[in-house]
């Protein structure tokens, strides 16, 4: 199994986190559920790494609610333009409030936070397995990996074709994109498994990354174990501080048959695939 | 130039603003200059090792949050060897926070953490005492007195007793803590509460019930701080729902010598610094030489109409 | 068609929504159709005549309000002769609320107000008992049991014991009330609190301390209602911070048979009707035949991650 | 002393109070401190009487604050146009939030509430003694009284000339307006007292109405007692319900040397001058 390249990790103690009210450059809906927001944040863009997140303060929509910040993965990093984007699903009070922000308003963001993805050595080919919100988290890994000359295959899973996102962007970034959907049953686990074995056979899979689905997590773990692949998964948990102080965001992990509890905000959100626990 | 320094017993703080235990860690130094805080109160460490409560551990409610972290802890040895050294680099005094399941365990860990680099010990007696069928020590005066006496014998460091607002007799508990040898009392920990997600019909927290903190608790804890400040002669440190300098001033006017800020830091990591700056500015506006001048300076109650309440004034 | 009716002991209510004592009067009939309420709980009347506390009696705080009205009262005779008749014109059952300074006075007024036109008596034992140096009856189980027994003997009407959230042992108090003969318990009265106007440095209330109500108290009172519902077999009526039907549903899921709405009516006089309509609509969406189906139907706590908490599920 | 005309009172049990979100037609600042807001409310305008008030729900300015409603006297009633106006001073959280409302927004108002002014019989001449916010409360009494053919003299007191308000409106309504200000000391109590004795001598004062100043209240009480005038005062107190249910809004009154406590919201805000207590 290939060791991760630590140099790509973002958890250096030296890293300083910025709380900043960033100017909103763009804010539009991508489909019925999702919205894309782009902000100007040159310093953060320089620091940010794929897999990290920002802790966002949603505008108060009357009432102190939403009270806590909301964690959101970085969807796009443009260092040249000095911009960052988030792709988010309108779910409850916080994201509903966020959706009311207009271009020209400010977005109070804390970050970049957490540990990002790490890539295998020697431009080894990698495979991404994303569904739903997981797409937002894995998307920037495509740019990072292709930039580093890793052949990238992205398997994107969704309820129906109209819910598939950033297929074009990923192709533009140089990834081979395979889309699977519930509506024609191509997204069923065994069929996705066949895809993975196929990619392995074609020598296109040395590392495996997943986010957004428990079923795909379990599948990825099995396949990675079988072939001894380097694998990573980005996980979610409710958060308060986002900085590692409050221990709200723990999840159980399995390390040599021992259960250990880790904080998603600072020991993750990206974790070794083998140690993650599905259900 | 305003003098913001305050004395908590023998310990002088550069200013009266410090983090509340469990809401602060060295990680905050990545965002703000923690040197500027009056003291650094860190997460409670327990005598035994604990993994803490199942998730979800946090929920939002109107004007605050619920938490059911449950004090995950790697124990006192790890604390002394791994945690204390992390704070050497900071000028602000380090205040340890400890807890245990029995008075004897409590005294033992108190002795263990009384090491160089620790300036004071906050004794979190808001936690269950298994010798009083799970009731927190600070629910009643008797167990409070008993455990404080043991703690007093175990350490020469200043001891700050952190009380629970779930008690129906917090003044008596405060007096018991003082009698037992506390050098200060912290009012207070979180208030036991719960909420339900009506979509799933499940409790929002994995532990069902958890601690309420944030602006919602301020009027309740402020009342308790006022009652305690009038019941004991040792310093009272106010802690509950402080989001702004104005909130801190309310606590100091009712008699608190210093304040702790918790939940506010989650919303805004710079909240404590904003409180310090706000206190300094307010003192200047009120042309006060020292912040100490306002401690307990609460005016008489009642409006003009009240003057004629039971007859012509 | 959804059945919203609930039974509080022998008393059937058309729906589970009623006003909280002290926040309602016949005056509301000028704004809304009070006939639609489950019951009409009116302001506490005391055995003695009282003018109430000096002003200011109200203050705003984050997510709620403080009040220090102090139960002005014209006594039981005036209540029976002047107040009860005012409610004859309404179909909804009238619930009197009474209080007194001693168990005997309490029993006496309880007998006095047990007249035709009164369907139940809410006994506000959250008020000071001068025989227990000013502590409220419901602060402890013993005085609660003692006063409830006397009250039980004094009247054949359903007795609802209204508890105080300032107690540190509300479950024990609830059990004592049940043992003493209460037909239902109301959880709960206001939480003692205070606030300070830092401009004047005066307490906001003329009485310095007063009762906190409104959304800020909901998670605390909901927790107490949950604890009490699991401790007694008589109906529990939830009361604290209910502003919407969702809030009422939370209370019913944790085990409340009915709810009382107080402060919300001050913000929006139609709040209680909105809660009733919201309950009906929610039942329809959940295709429930009767609102009674959700009482106590709280789901298991914990998220998916919690399933592997201490080992693989 | 002349008995009040009960017909003018608004406390009939039959009166039903309306909670309504009224359209804002006009909202402008009158001077550094005061703002005028006009809403469309035909039904309320028909019911409303000078001296009554509305309980206004201020928009939430982030946070649940302002939590409670805010009582505001009716400043102008235009039954033909079906409009009501309020003249308010920007003081704290509530009025600050109110000041953010724009024309076209809605103002949630509960009312009309309370007992209004009553006029003496036989077109007897009346005198108004107003200062500060008191002006807003007494203003509609000018229109009511002149409409009923009562000669009206309004003495308006303010810090300085620029803080005098609705002088023109009152003159247009047919009142004789005397302005007194602190800046030239014409507002001092003894000089205002001389004015009152003068008006009495001219037969222009059979009833006396005041609002907004404790000093003027004490003066008015003394003068009214001396000449046995019908007198009324409008008073303020913090409120919660505004309907008479909560007993938050009581004030002490003196009735035959007995102290009684009355609710400003429903037993007032207008009270017999002789029974009010100053300090
Ligand atoms: C590291 C990380 C990265 C994320 N990246 C994205 C992203 O790129 N796009 C996206 O759409 N969503 C993302 N999420 C999920 C996102 O944080 C939640 O959808 C959001 O917090 C929901 O807030 P709400 O108020 O709309 O929903 P509500 O259900 O009203 O939220 C109530 C509370 O639960 C918390 N919460 C609810 N769902 C989640 C969740 N899945 N994870 C963590 N906390 C939650 C909220 O923060 C809030 O405190 C991410 C979560 C984490 C932990
Ligand atoms: C019957 C009546 C009529 C009034 N008419 C007018 C009017 O026409 N124009 C005008 O400018 N003001 C009037 N007032 C005063 C007005 O209600 C207050 O100025 C306003 O409530 C202040 O709210 P705030 O949030 O801006 O100030 P804050 O000081 O932040 O208010 C805090 C709390 O105190 C209460 N409060 C503060 N001052 C008063 C006061 N003087 N009277 C009653 N409650 C108060 C508020 O309602 C709120 O609950 C009237 C008051 C009453 C009782
Ligand atoms: C997430 C979280 C964890 C906490 N952990 C502890 C703890 O370990 N020990 C302790 O004494 N108090 C703990 N508290 C309570 C706080 O120290 C503080 O007493 C309480 O939050 C009230 O202050 P606040 O309203 O400013 O947050 C915790 C509070 C929160 C929100
Ligand atoms: C202004 C006011 C007056 C009250 N008076 C009484 C009272 O006389 N008797 C009583 O038992 N409770 C009284 N209460 C408490 C309420 O009945 C209720 O228990 C409390 O307000 C919590 O409910 P809420 O949050 O919905 O207001 C009063 C509350 C308020 C706000
Ligand atoms: S959110 Fe606070 S430790 Fe992770
Ligand atoms: S404000 Fe409630 S009685 Fe007057």
Please give the ipTM for the structure prediction.
0.94
Phi-psi region of B245 (alpha: psi -120 to 50; beta: other; left: phi over 0): alpha
For all residues of chain A together, what is the average pLDDT? 90
From B63, B305, B310, residue closest to D64, measured CB to CB: B63
- Calpha distance B159→B11 (Å, rounded): 11
What pLDDT score was predicted for residue A63? 55
Q: Which residues of C are catalytic?
A: 127
Strands D152-158 and C120-124: what pairing? unpaired
Q: Residues of chain D with pLDDT > 70: what percent?
A: 93
How many cross-chain Cβ pairs, B to D, lie less than 8 Å apart?
22
Q: What is the pLDDT of residues D125-148, one digit of tens each?
A: 999 999 988 999 999 999 999 999
Shortest Cα–Cα distance, A18 to chain B (Å):
6
The predicted model gives B173-201 an average pLDDT of: 97
- Calpha distance B231→A196 (Å, rounded): 70
Indicate whether residue B242 lines ligand 3 (CB < 6 A): yes
The reply to whether A250 touches chain B by the CB within 8 Å rule is yes
Say if the Cβ atoms of C60 and D250 lie within 8 Å: no
What pLDDT score was predicted for residue D61? 56
What pLDDT score was predicted for residue D62? 54
The predicted model gives A200-224 an average pLDDT of: 95
Atom of ligand 3 nearest to the CA of B43: 8
C184: β partners: C160
Q: Residues of chain D with pLDDT > 90: what percent?
A: 82
Say if the Cβ atoms of D238 and C67 lie within 8 Å: no
What pLDDT score was predicted for residue A10? 37
**Chain A residues with beta carbon closer than 8 angstroms to that of D64:** 62-64
What pLDDT score was predicted for residue B312? 55
**Chain D residues with beta carbon closer than 8 angstroms to that of A63:** 60, 63-64
Shortest Cα–Cα distance, B288 to chain A (Å):
32
Atom of ligand 1 nearest to the CA of A238: 44
Say if the Cβ atoms of D261 and C69 lie within 8 Å: no
CA distances from residue D187 to A277, B311, D142, D163 in whole angstroms, order as listed:
80, 30, 21, 13
Say if the Cβ atoms of B205 and C301 lie within 8 Å: yes
Shortest Cα–Cα distance, A187 to chain D (Å):
44
Name chain B's partners: 3 or more CB pairs within 8 A: A, C, D
- Lining ligand 4 with CB less than 6 A are C 20-23, 43-44, 67, 69, 71, 97, 124, 162, 189-190, 213-214, 217, 239-242, 261-264; D 240, 246, 248
The predicted model gives C186-195 an average pLDDT of: 97
Two structure tokens written together for C210: 């007063």
Indicate whether residue B225 lines ligand 3 (CB < 6 A): no
Name chain A's partners: 3 or more CB pairs within 8 A: B, C, D
Instruction: Note the pTM of the prediction, 2 decimals.
Output: 0.95
| Centre of ligand 6 from the C-alpha of residue B308, in Å | 20
Specify the length of chain D in residues.
279
On the question of pLDDT at B200 being above 80, the answer is: yes
**Chain C residues with beta carbon closer than 8 angstroms to that of B195:** 218-219, 222, 250
The reply to whether C62 touches chain D by the CB within 8 Å rule is yes
Two structure tokens written together for D204: 């222009």
Two structure tokens written together for D198: 């003068």
Q: Of the ligands numbered here, which is closest to the C-alpha atom of A50?
A: 1
Q: What is the pLDDT of residues B220-268, one digit of tens each?
A: 999 999 999 999 999 999 999 999 999 999 999 999 999 999 999 999 9
| Centre of ligand 6 from the C-alpha of residue D237, in Å | 9
Give the pLDDT band of residue D8 (cuts 50, 70, 90): very low
The predicted model gives B8-32 an average pLDDT of: 96
Question: DSSP of B166-209, one letter per residue?
Answer: T-S-HHHHHHHHHHTT-SEEEE--PEEE--EETTTTEESSTTS-
Q: Residues of chain A with pLDDT > 70: what percent?
A: 93
Atom of ligand 3 nearest to the CA of B190: 20
- Lining ligand 5 with CB less than 6 A are A 239-242, 244-249, 263, 265
List the single range of A14-28, A175-189, C138-152, D16-30 with lowest mean pLDDT: A14-28
Q: What is the pLDDT of residues D177-197, one digit of tens each?
A: 999 999 999 999 999 999 999
Collapsing DSSP to helix, strand or coil, B266 comes out as helix
From C62, C307, C311, residue closest to A279, measured CB to CB: C307
Say if the Cβ atoms of C307 and A259 lie within 8 Å: no
Q: Are D55 and D113 in contact (CB under 8 A)?
A: yes
What pLDDT score was predicted for residue B71? 87
Q: What is the pLDDT of residues C123-179, one digit of tens each?
A: 999 988 888 878 999 999 999 999 999 999 999 999 999 999 999 999 999 999 999
The reply to whether A214 touches chain C by the CB within 8 Å rule is yes
Cα four-point dihedral sign A92, A95, A98, A100: negative
- Tell me whether residue D201 is exposed, middle or buried, using C-beta atoms within 10 angstroms of its C-beta: 0 to 12, 13 to 18, 19 or more: exposed
**Chain C residues with beta carbon closer than 8 angstroms to that of B55:** 302-303, 305-306, 309
What pLDDT score was predicted for residue A19? 85
Two structure tokens written together for C169: 């042992």
SS in 3 state form for chain C? CCECCEEECCEEECCCEEECCCCCCHHHHHCCCHHHCCCEECCCEECCCECCCCCCCEEEECCEEEECCCCCECHHHHHHHHHHHHCCCCCCCEEEEEECCCHHHHHHHHHHCCCCCCCEEEEECCCECHHHCCCEHHHCHHHHHHHHHHHHHHCCCCEEEEECCCCCCHHHHHHHHHHHCCCEEEECCCEEECCEECCCCEECCCCCCEEEECHHHHHHHHHHHHHHHCCCCCCEEEECCCCCHHHHHHHHHCCCCEEEECHHHHHCCCHHHHHHHHHHHHHHHCCCCEHHHHCCCCCCCCCHHHHCCCCCC
What pLDDT score was predicted for residue A8? 35
The residue whose CA has the least distance to atom 47 of ligand 1 is A70
Indicate whether residue B238 lines ligand 3 (CB < 6 A): no
What pLDDT score was predicted for residue C142? 97
On the question of pLDDT at A7 being above 50, the answer is: no
| Centre of ligand 4 from the C-alpha of residue C42, in Å | 10
How many cross-chain Cβ pairs, A to D, lie less than 8 Å apart?
13
On the question of pLDDT at A50 being above 60, the answer is: yes
Say if the Cβ atoms of C310 and A279 lie within 8 Å: no
Say if the Cβ atoms of C31 and D17 lie within 8 Å: yes
Give the pLDDT band of residue A32 (cuts 50, 70, 90): confident
**Chain A residues with beta carbon closer than 8 angstroms to that of B28:** 243, 245
**Chain A residues with beta carbon closer than 8 angstroms to that of B45:** none
**Chain B residues with beta carbon closer than 8 angstroms to that of C303:** 54-56, 206
Question: DSSP of A122-140, one letter per residue?
Answer: TT--EEEEEETTHHHHHHH
- Calpha distance D263→D176 (Å, rounded): 33
φ, ψ of residue B174 to 5 degrees: the values are -60, -45
From A214, A251, A259, residue closest to C310, measured CB to CB: A259
- Calpha distance B146→D125 (Å, rounded): 79
Name chain D's partners: 3 or more CB pairs within 8 A: A, B, C
The reply to whether B95 touches chain C by the CB within 8 Å rule is no
Strands A126-131 and A152-158: what pairing? parallel
Sheet holding A152-158, edge to edge: A176-181, A152-158, A126-131, A207-211, A230-234, A270-272
What pLDDT score was predicted for residue A238? 96
Measured at the CA of B152, the angle between CA B151 and CA B158, to 5 degrees, comes to 105
**Chain C residues with beta carbon closer than 8 angstroms to that of A214:** 304
- Calpha distance C309→A253 (Å, rounded): 9
Q: What is the pLDDT of residues C213-251, one digit of tens each?
A: 999 999 999 999 999 999 999 999 999 999 999 999 999
Two structure tokens written together for C178: 């049940």
From A64, A252, A254, residue closest to C305, measured CB to CB: A252
Indicate whether residue B164 lines ligand 3 (CB < 6 A): no
The reply to whether A237 touches chain C by the CB within 8 Å rule is yes
Residues 92-121 of chain D whose Cβ lies under 8 A from any Cβ of chain B? none
The residue whose CA has the least distance to atom 28 of ligand 3 is B22
Give me the helix-helix angle, C218-229 and C170-180, nearest 10°: 50
The predicted model gives C66-93 an average pLDDT of: 94
- Lining ligand 1 with CB less than 6 A are A 53, 66, 68, 70-73, 86-89, 91-95, 133, 136-137, 236-239, 264, 269; B 60
Give the pLDDT band of residue D9 (cuts 50, 70, 90): very low
Give the pLDDT band of residue B171 (cuts 50, 70, 90): very high
- Calpha distance B117→D250 (Å, rounded): 58
């Amino acid at each position: 199994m290939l060791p991760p390249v630590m140099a790509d990790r973002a958890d250096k103690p030296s890293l300083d986190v910025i709380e900043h009210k960033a100017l909103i450059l763009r804010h539009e809906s991508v489909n019925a559920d999702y919205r894309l927001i782009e902000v100007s944040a040159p310093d953060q863009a320089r620091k940010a790494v794929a897999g990290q997140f920002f802790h966002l303060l949603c505008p108060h929509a009357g009432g102190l609610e939403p009270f806590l910040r909301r964690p959101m993965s970085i969807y796009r990093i443009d260092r040249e333009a000095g911009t960052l984007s988030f792709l988010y699903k309108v779910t409850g009070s916080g994201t509903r409030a966020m959706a009311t922000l207009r271009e020209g308003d400010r977005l109070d963001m804390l970050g970049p936070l957490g540990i990002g993805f790490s890539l295998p050595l020697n431009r080894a080919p990698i495979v991404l397995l994303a569904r739903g919100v997981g797409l937002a988290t894995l998307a920037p890994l495509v740019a990072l990996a292709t930039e580093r000359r890793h052949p990238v295959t992205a398997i994107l899973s969704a309820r129906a074709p109209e819910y598939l996102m950033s297929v074009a962007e990923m192709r533009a970034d140089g990834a081979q994109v395979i889309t699977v959907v519930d509506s024609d049953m191509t997204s069923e686990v065994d069929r996705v498994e066949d895809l993975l074995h196929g990619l392995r056979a074609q020598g296109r899979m040395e590392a495996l990354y997943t986010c957004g689905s428990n079923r795909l997590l379990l599948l990825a773990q099995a396949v990675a174990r079988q072939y001894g692949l380097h694998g990573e998964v980005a996980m979610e948990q409710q958060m308060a501080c986002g900085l590692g102080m409050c221990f709200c965001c723990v999840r159980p992990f399995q390390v040599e048959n021992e259960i250990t509890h880790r904080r998603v905000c600072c020991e993750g959100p990206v974790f070794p695939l083998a140690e993650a626990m599905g259900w | 130039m305003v003098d913001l320094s305050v004395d908590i017993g023998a310990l002088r703080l550069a200013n009266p603003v410090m983090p509340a235990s469990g809401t602060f860690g060295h990680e905050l130094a990545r965002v703000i200059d923690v040197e500027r805080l009056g003291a650094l109160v860190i997460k409670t460490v327990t005598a035994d090792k604990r993994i803490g409560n199942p998730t979800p551990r946090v929920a939002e409610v109107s004007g605050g949050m619920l938490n059911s972290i449950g004090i995950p802890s790697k124990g006192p040895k790890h604390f002394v060897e791994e945690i204390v050294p992390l704070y050497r680099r900071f000028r602000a005094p380090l205040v340890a926070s400890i807890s245990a399941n029995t008075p004897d365990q409590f005294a033992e860990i108190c002795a263990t953490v009384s090491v160089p680099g620790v300036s004071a010990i906050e004794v979190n007696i808001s936690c269950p005492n298994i010798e009083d069928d799970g009731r927190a020590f600070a629910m009643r005066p008797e167990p409070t007195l008993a455990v404080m006496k043991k703690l007093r014998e175990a350490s020469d460091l200043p001891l700050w007793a952190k009380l629970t607002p779930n008690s129906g007799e917090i003044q008596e508990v405060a007096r018991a803590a003082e009698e037992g040898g506390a050098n200060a009392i912290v009012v207070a920990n979180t208030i036991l509460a719960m909420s339900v997600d009506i979509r799933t019909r499940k409790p929002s927290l994995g532990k069902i019930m958890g601690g309420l903190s944030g602006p919602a608790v301020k009027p309740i804890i402020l009342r308790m701080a006022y009652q305690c400040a009038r019941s004991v002669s040792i310093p009272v440190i106010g802690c509950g729902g402080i989001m702004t300098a104005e909130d801190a001033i309310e606590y100091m006017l009712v008699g608190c010598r210093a304040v702790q800020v918790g939940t506010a830091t989650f919303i805004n990591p710079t909240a404590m610094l904003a409180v310090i700056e706000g206190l300094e500015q307010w003192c200047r506006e009120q042309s006060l030489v020292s912040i100490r001048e306002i401690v307990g300076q609460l005016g008489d109650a009642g409006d003009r109409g009240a003057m004629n309440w039971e007859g012509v004034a």
